Amino acid sequence: MIPPKPPSRPDRVSLWRYMQLFRQDILSAQPARLYRAWMAEFRTPFFRSYLMSQPELVKTVLKDRPEDFPKSDRVSEGLRPLLGNSVFLTNGETWKRQRRIIDPAFEGGRLRETFPAMWDASEAAASRMSEGVIEIEEQTSHAAADVIFRTLFSIPIEDALASAVFHEFRAYQRSQPILNLAAFVPLPRWMPRLFRRDTRASAARIRALIAKLVIQRAQEIADGTAPDDLATKIMTTHDPETGETFSPEEMVDQVAIFFLAGHETSASALAWALYLMALYPEWQEKVAAEAKALSDCDFAVMSKLPVTRDVFRETLRLYPPVPMMVREASCPEKFRDRAVPQGSQLVLSPWHLHRHERLWERPDEFDPGRWQTENGKTCGRDAYIPFSAGARVCTGAGFAMVEGPLILARLLRDVTVSCVEGRAPVPVAHLTVRAKDGIWLHIGKR
């Protein structure tokens, strides 16, 4: 049984038709040949783009020479109303300064320190799970948002401000396409960007709510009453080179991306993981058996969930939350004996790389056991980038690989999940890889 995958378009369609398909869904707009190609070129009247799937090329762009291939402003424009000048969008010295302040919050023993908050969120998620047919993405979004607020601001999702941010973000997520017109047309910087009115308004409301949380925390820090959580750590960390801390406006930008990256991506991965457990009950039982170890809030319990971790890794392979990343060539290049002009868009696609037919054995099949094979280990090093790679690897990658398996195991300790006939989900790309009409599962008590 092959898990759901969007239908590929024909290899040849007109540019206009391609743009129409792309706007509807970036995944199904791609031709099947891209799952075999090492490098593919796309030409438009406005710019050239290159999908790069050869592991050596991915390594060059992400690991060996990241400063030569900065993040593309074309894609950034679509997210700027919400994320402002956050670390996800910046390049160069601005990005380096932001990472110098942010990274210490996620280093060393911080995962162990934040584990109790993750544990409490997983317990709360399990208590909310009711029997019957439910749309599971809504539940996983709730759980992932709860983790973010507990670890970042030491408040549960039930807090009034946290709840307001969560519900506002749910509306924003569905209104925001992965790319806007700026991804196709090189608009001058002085020209207003085109966003849906409700998208821009929703982004403004989210930022205003986050600003209240930041202002409250700044006052608590000044009063000496702030809890020792991620927000306090980041807001009190000085750049070792300049001695500066984030301004309130900068902190709003960073909290916005923490919420987007830490909530939206985790919610997507958890929802697909639960669907895959419904589709493959033999793996569900293996996870449930491991979950019996979850009795006390102890970080050491994570070492007792190896199968659950491999299930979550395999979910991230088949349904990487961020399906495509775009970089820009800052100077003329030559890849695979092909000239790549300066300003070209370089597309690195976890979606295609993780399913590449020349790299993975049985690439479209769900098999958590592959991670213990030689092919799985090799591809895990060379062709697996759910959190990007190199200097710009996601700061919260380790965080996500604790949160995801923990919540998945905790839920399956108490409940069973099974598929709903006639409701197979269709993957589409919004801000992350979601299901077109949601993921519907039947929940029963274990």
Per residue in 35-51, pLDDT (tens digit) is 999 999 887 666 788 99
Three-state secondary structure readout of 73-130: HHHHHHHHHHHCCCCCCCCHHHHHHHHHHHHHHHCCCHHHHHHHHHHHHHHHHHHHCC
Per-residue pLDDT, 181: 40
CA distance 383 to 57: 11
Q: Which class does domain 15-445 fall in?
A: mainly alpha
Q: How many other C-beta atoms are found inside a 10 Å radius of the C-beta of residue 57?
A: 18
CA angle (155 as vertex; 225, 400 as ends), nearest 5: 115
Residue 187, pLDDT > 60, answer no
CA distance 26 to 263: 21
CA distance 279 to 432: 21
pTM, to two decimals: 0.91
Q: Which sign does the torsion angle of CA 167, 173, 176, 179 carry?
A: positive
Residue 385, pLDDT > 80, answer yes
| Range from 168-172, 247-251, 308-312, 334-338 carrying the lowest mean pLDDT | 168-172
Residue 172, pLDDT > 80, answer no
The torsion angle over the Cα atoms of residues 229, 232, 233 and 238, rounded to 10 degrees, is: 180
What is the greatest pairwise CA distance in the chain? Answer: 64
Say if residue 309 is exposed, middle or buried (CB neighbours under 10 Å; 0-12, 13-18, 19+): buried
CA distance 296 to 278: 27
To the nearest 10 degrees (0 to 180), the angle between helices 306-318 and 281-291 is 140
